[in-house]
Amino acid sequence: MGKRGIGAVGVVETFNGEISALRRDGYSLQSIGDVIGVTRKRVRQILNEYYSGTAIPLLAESQVAKLCGCSYMTIRKLQSRE
């Protein structure tokens, strides 16, 4: 993925949801910044400001299940207990 040439103005509106999706997929702040054309510091600010209260896991549920040696549904059941 290359830079898209979008400045910091309007980043959230332009990439609404994509930033958090990339983070959920395990991309680093730097790699997300490279994709959308902002610094990793700005990516962190966006995540804190616009997606606060939204858990952004470092691993997908399927990855956690694989590491734990259990099914995806077991992970889902554990999450629903929170």
Tell me the two tokens of residue 44: 């962190």
Q: What is the mean pLDDT of residues 64-75?
A: 84
| More confident site: 6 or 75 | 75
22 within domain boundaries: yes
3 within domain boundaries: no
Residue 63 reports pLDDT greater than 50: yes
- Residue 48's domain spans which residues? 11-80
Q: How far apart are CA 45 and CA 21, in angstroms?
A: 16
2 within domain boundaries: no
- Phi, psi (rounded to 5 degrees) for 7: -75, 180
Per-residue pLDDT, 1: 47
26 within domain boundaries: yes
Confirm if 79 and 70 have CB atoms less than 8 A apart. no
Q: Looking at the 3D structure of the chain, how many domains does it have?
A: 1
67 within domain boundaries: yes
Per-residue pLDDT, 82: 57
33 within domain boundaries: yes
Q: How far apart are CA 76 and CA 67, in angstroms?
A: 15
19 within domain boundaries: yes
59 within domain boundaries: yes
- Tens digit of pLDDT for each residue in 2-54? 445 455 456 777 777 788 888 888 899 999 999 888 899 988 888 888 777 65
